[in-house]
A = this chain, B = another copy of it.
Amino acid sequence: MTVNREREEHVAGGGLLHRRAFLGMSAVAAGGLASGLGAATDPRSPVSMREPGGALSGYGTRAPSAEIIQRIVPELPFPGTGSSRTPLQLLEGTITPNGLHFERHHNGVPAIDPATHELLIHGLVRQPLLFRYDDLLRYPRENRILFIECSGNSGTIAAAAPVQASAGQLNGLVSCAEWTGVRLGTLLDEVGVDLDARWVQAEGADAAGMTRSIPLSICLDDAMIALFQNGEPLRPEQGFPMRLLLPGIEGNASVKWLRRLKVIATPAFSREETSKYSDLLADGRAELFSLRMGVKSIILFPSFGLDLPGPGRREISGLAWSGHGRIRKVEVSADGGTTWAEAALGESVLPKALTRFRIPWRWDGGPATLLSRAVDDTGAVQPRRKEWVAKYGIGQGYHSNAIQSWRIDESGHVSHVYA
């Protein structure tokens, strides 16, 4: 195919193109092929048209060639303690299939019988109450598409040299699903919160006894007891039969396998909010309860492991999100941050959910450095790495929302760089 260069309108340096410039790309001219088209009984037809296909099934599985798409599971001394990551660079859209939602467990995935599991809400309340799974199913529900991001996601951005690994390996502690459950505020209304209550201590029924303190204001705002994930009951790795779900807040605080909410006056300073999940600053102090995730974006194509076979037009694509609300815009640079152009956002830009961005690009075969920069509807702008590392102490890896950069060399190889 000839390339219709005359139709290309450049919107920034390094080959970034206007959305409508994308034509004449890749296909095989097929002048004489129509005569070779066979019907179902024609031996020239593909075998799939000549033999009846497989049966209907109760619960579908993936095509064999798609089964290579797996969560990224590291070697671990204790196989239930650690994290697996969503292979973001191999997925599309914004919804994470339930089987590929990232995991972060502190002592494995408990097997919980929903018939015996109970959620206790007590502490500074008028009337402590015990909710069984079936009780919660009677309450009014809401469904929201929301991301969950581990506070430690993209933490290797603090490393002295850029780690060479896939976008999912670096950033795959974020996933997005449609969650359905009961507003926590509804249940707190039931128990009647005392006037001096300020925090809620959440405890999971796992063998880590995961415990976090959450400001009451967040619990009364948009917190949810989630029971369903993309339509079906929660997966065990995501907290079956019930989890706390705090939209926009670091994932660890959305306590899985939730068994207890204690309404309290001051934070509990539990193990996980002192030994972990506090952010060392450059001046030696630490930020505690830095719960909300910042505005962020990552480019997924091109990215490490997805080298370009040759020059030509492609679509740069990635994901953006913010714990504060909706993504307002994503800008992309193909020349290392010198010039920027605004990417198109997906059809539905929902608050505290992943948003897909895309921009057409002509790679001319020379070196190129790609960056993306998200802005949310509070006006917050994703920081450059040097701004981010200036704020935090050495080795601090929580709440990394710094801009990540990919460099394409003349061979089409993509590497992670600090630009």
Contact = CB atoms under 8 A, between A and B. Distances in A.
A129 B257 contact: no
A58 B84 contact: yes
Given A61-B99, A83-B56, A232-B62, A346 B93 contact: no
B73 A58 contact: yes
Given A23-B189, A59-B70, A236-B63, A97 B97 contact: yes
Residue among A63, A113, A190, A231 with most chain B CB within 10 A: A231
Specify how many copies of this chain sit in the oligomer: 2
A261 to B, nearest CB: 12
A130 B32 CA distance: 11
B28 A59 contact: no
B56 A79 contact: yes
Given A30-B129, A96-B231, A54 B80 contact: yes
Contacts of A231: 91-97, 100
Nearest to A133: B65
Most buried by B among A45, A48, A84: A48
Interface stretch (A142-150, A330-338, A381-389): A142-150
A284 interface: no
A275 interface: no
Interface stretch (A102-110, A163-171, A406-414): A102-110
13 contacts: A24-B190, A25-B190, A52-B107, A54-B109, A57-B71, A64-B111, A65-B114, A92-B228, A93-B231, A94-B143, A95-B177, A95-B178, A95-B231
